[in-house]
Structure 1
Amino acid sequence: MRLSRRARRWTAVVAIGPLVLAGGCTSGSKNGKAQAAPPPTLTLSPGGNAAKVPISTEVGTATDGKITAVTLTDDKGASVAGDMRPDGSSWLPGRPLDFKRSYTAQVTATSAAGKTTTQTTKFTTMDKPDSQVKTEMYFESGKTYGVNMPVTVSFDPPVPKENRAAVQKRLLVNTDPPQPGTWSWPDDGKQVEYRAPDPWRLGTKISVRAALAGLPIKDSFGDGDHVASATIAQNKVNLEVDNKTKQMAVYRDDKLLKKIPVSLGKASTPSSSGKMVIMEKFDTTVFDTRGEPNGGYVVTVSDAQRLTWGGEFIHAAPWSEGEQGYTNTSHGCVNVSTTAADWLMSVTHVGDLVTVKGTEVTLDQGNGFTAWNVSWEEFARHSALPVPADLKPAPQPAPSASPAPSGSSAPSGSPGGTGPAPADSPAAPASSNSVGG
């Protein structure tokens, strides 16, 4: 998912305080004459002739004004495009700089009074590092996602708390129409997720840049930039699974489409209760749990939709159709009939919300796309940067239900279960188990 695109304007979700200007009703004077406002003071970063500069470097830093213009060229005279930070604190190149390359930056700062200062700095970038943090972004260009799709970035090794603010500042999201949100870190620092207070509006266009190449992270550096643009679907789909009734209710635009009998995880391998998001979909895949606790089987399944890194899926389980709606027999998956599984694949999107309730265990944060498994207040509390206090969810209307036929059942067969990430699926972040139970 390291996709390069032409440079464009990016926005980072950072709380910016108001610019306060001190002053009175009259300007200062000396001998009765008004004094001209001084030009802004400009401290250049990187400094002149700096060496081994990270290829992630930003340019600028004005102490009493804003950076308003930057031109950056390499040692062959080629220019590098980029964009200003919204608060005018620095200028961000639109791509990672090259290793072991010399650059010249001309930087202009402007004061509140309109005075300008322009200076030039030269620097040389670092060698390619021996140690890199493996990063992965689970958001792809050209895709259509459900309204609850978070943007998720994983890190191996995890990001220490003291480095998370610097990393988060390099995670840039732009939405059309605008829907500001924030990033949130599970305690282990193995992934970070972005969402707004409310689900995305239908048809929203989302562009993301995880500008991590060469970014210092503890004793290492980010391994690459990740860029993607995708669209949110034109309808909202959500699934609600109740262990008490052994039924799945399928809603589209808050209207009940169908109820489907299910068989969840048995007592020794229970399904997780919580708010999950469909992570990926497979027409056919193989669960191989040999050598895993409560595993030891290999089974091919159809119409599988991943819910967790740990290996919980919704999938067709013809062997348990007799138990669906009555008894839990799986190794943690949501088993449905072959007919129901095929129908669900035609209705759902990656990014749709799946809520499971009433099971013996709760979903762990970070075990999948878990951005909606906590309240907005709790989610925002785990941002490494300040979140505007007025960024809150809007009141949500209560869903309306209408009668719909239940799914069918069929004779039972051999036991079903969950399995590891299929060979062609994106790698699970180091935060989670790649094999479920």
Structure 2
Amino acid sequence: MGLTTKIVLAMLLGIVVGVLFNFFETSQVLGAGITGFINNYLTEGLFDIIGRIFIASLKLMVVPLVLVSLICGACALSEGSRVGVLAGKTLALYLLTTAAAISLALMLALVFQPGVGMEGVQAAVAFEPKPSPSLSQVLVDIFPSNPVDAMAKGNMLQIIVFALLMGYAIARCGEPGRRMASFFNDLNEVIMRMVGVLMVFAPYGVFALLATKISQLGTEAIFQLGKYFLVVLLALALHGLGVYSLLLKLFSGLSPLELLKKMRPAMVFAFSTSSSAATIPVTLSTVEKRLGVDNKVAAFTVPLGATVNMDGTAIMQGVATAFIAQMYGIDIGLSGYLTVILTATLASIGTAGVPGVGLIMLAMVLQQVGLPLEGIAIVMGVDRLLDMVRTVVNITGDSVVTTIVAKSEGYFSKEVYYDGNYDSVASSADGNNSAAERTSG
């Protein structure tokens, strides 16, 4: 049985076990003693420990993987002065997809109006949002004053800037630079092998995570906020399957179905961890080995996307903003919704790829249009489950943009993408063009 099949089976089994545990707890059909044993020793005990260890192991790989991969990629690209062009394409596509995501979310929220009829709902849980940074502070915080501190805190944007600067400098240092480049390339191979070792234990981690999370979630909150929940899911599905497929076909001519099929392992990880950052090792490995993207491009675009490209989070912010406005009977008008689009798009740049951070950034969006922050407490009930789904959309967007950019720059293998199942003449022509582009680059 392949690793992907094992992970999918572990995910399904985890969901089934989580639903059963939640049913036993709410219905008390097994008695208080057995239910207490399940909660104390399985859900909050063994499964929780295994899940947290697995997440910690994934996060262990994130900083060294991003740092070393980006240094290698920036060094290789800087030799041909392509890093500026690649960065421009990547950022433009990420911002385009985020703006499209928030626009789609607002449109669906205005059509289905999930907040209408809930004007009398009171938040059962008080929500005290952390102070949200200003957009100017977000831009300033991109640049590190202490790279060691940035690595210790896992500040991905600062790590990315430092790695790009170091890679560019290594490419311009002659013989010392070549020795350093060789060292980082070897280190990159070692880190990728560590990722491979970790993947052996992935099915167990995925099972434990989902069994714990589904058991704790329950279904009551989903029924109470069913319309909001379904509108967010619809927006995520349309964006993840429709918008991304259209962009991939339009800008690269590649088959979207092939990409979606090969990204399944990364999607499963994203769903179970609810963290774009923790999924970076799996996303990076998948786009290189299964989609045929060269490490020079993937090492730059994937870590950047996990920090900047938060389309799923932007969708949640758009629907939640309209939902809260409708629930409180506040009309923010066209200018207000345009402000939401702009703010959510820019806020996604400063949104860390960790679970639950979207709610903090939602507070920033609500402040910009004068909506009450208390409304966040109402959507918190179903946000954990939606967080799992929108993380899948986030990493799918990362892979789509990475593939588009790699193909446009000539750092892409069509043979790997289609597993060799495409016209041999087209393959030869594509290979010759790719080789010529790499030589000229």
TM (norm. structure 2) is 0.21
> Which structure shows the bigger proportion of residues in strand conformation?
1
| Structure with the greater alpha carbon radius of gyration | 1
TM (norm. structure 1) is 0.21
Specify which structure has the bigger relative contact order, considering alpha-carbon pairs within 8 angstroms and separated by 6 or more residues: 2
